Amino acid sequence: MKFEVVTIFPELINEFITHGIISKAITLKKLSVNTWNPRDYSEDKGRRLDDKPYGGGPGMLLQAEPLIRTIDAIKKEKETHVVYMAPHGKILDQEKVIELSSKENITIISGRYEGIDQRVEDSRVDEVCSVGDFVLNGGEVPALVLIESISRLINGVLGDMDSIMEESFSDGLLEFPQFTRPKKSAYGDVPEILLGGNHSEIKTWRLKESLRRTLTNRPDLLKGRKLTEEEKELIDEINDEN
């Protein structure tokens, strides 16, 4: 998997990818991350990229031409799927992450200021994704969110691929609570069921706690979900307990 990140602050991306699992995956050549600064494609003497929006209003916009020239330079080298990270896009959920993980090369546009000239989106962008219903100062953090979430699905990036199967959203539910040593502490004790070694009981407990957490924090995830008989019974138990 290869990522091309269009950003006026490439140092933010380049510093991040030198740490943790992403850094290891790059070393192992499981993925690559390249940055492209649209200032390098500006024809302005001062390498200016922004200007006031037509029609008035606060803030500045990134101009179309430098961004388009940057994207075209990337496309001259490789076939790529262009994603613009912006609040007005479709929510980046696990289903979308899985879909994007099938691409061989993804170009991510990181906006700044009030965004980018619409003509970039109309002529060069394949899709717009949002990390949530809030506004950030720029698109670098969302770009890194996209890179991290996709990278975790690449075979060989994580040490234990089985962990992906138990993560939040992997089966449409939030992940169950987890505990490690010590068994007992001033802050609470580990549930006894996790200490008994009965894997069937542990599996049921984990499913129940996933359902409980989802019902409490993200009940929307259960809408339209086809519940198994076991899940229905566990939900009834949770409701009775409440």
| Residues 4-19 pLDDT 10s | 999 999 999 999 999 9
Is a pLDDT exceeding 60 seen at residue 168? no
Q: Do both 126 and 180 map to the same domain?
A: no
Out of 89, 121, 151, pick the residue that ends a domain.
151
pLDDT of residue 223: 93
Would you say residue 126 has pLDDT above 60? Answer: yes
- Domain count within the chain: 2
- pLDDT over threshold 60, residue 142: yes
Q: Are residues 187 and 140 in the same domain?
A: no
Mean pLDDT confidence for 159-177: 70
- 11 lies in the same domain as 85: yes
Tell whether 66 is covered by a domain: yes
Q: What is the dihedral of CA 91, 87, 152, 20, to 10 degrees?
A: -160
Q: 172 in a domain, yes or no?
A: yes
Domain stop point among 151, 181, 210? 151
CA atoms within a 13 Å half-sphere pointing along the CA-CB vector of 240: 7
- 113-to-11, 118, 146 alpha-carbon distances in Å: 18, 14, 20
* % pLDDT > 70, the chain: 95
Task: Check if the beta carbon of residue 43 is closer than 8 Å to that of residue 49.
Answer: no
- Quickly tell me which residue has 């980046």 as its tokens: 92
- Pairing relationship of beta strands 50-51 and 61-62 according to DSSP bridges: antiparallel
Q: Is residue 18 part of a domain?
A: yes
Instruction: Give the burial class of 148: count Cβ atoms within 10 A of its Cβ; 0-12 exposed, 13-18 middle, 19 or more buried.
Output: middle
Q: Do residue 109 and residue 180 come from a single domain?
A: no
> Which uninterrupted H or E stretch holds 130?
strand 127-130
Kindly state whether residues 136 and 188 are assigned to the same domain. Answer: no
Residue 158 lies in a domain: no
Same-domain status, 209 and 95: no
Q: Say yes or no: 115 and 214 in one domain.
A: no
- Entry field: residues in the chain: 242
Residue 218, CA distances (Å) to 61, 106, 173 in order: 35, 30, 9
Catalogue the E-assigned strands of 151-202: 184-185, 188-189
What token pair was written down for 162?
A: 């089985």
pLDDT at position 115: 94
Task: Tell the residue number behind the tokens 């449409």, with chain if given.
Answer: 172
Q: Which domain range does residue 211 map to?
A: 166-241
Same domain, 7 and 120: yes
Helices (H) and strands (E) in the chain, counts: 9, 9
- Kindly state whether residues 56 and 124 are assigned to the same domain: yes
- Decide if pLDDT at 159 tops 80: no
Is the same domain home to 16 and 136? Answer: yes
The predicted-structure confidence for 42-61, as pLDDT tens digits, reads as follows 998 888 899 999 999 889 99
Q: Determine, yes or no, domain membership for 233.
A: yes
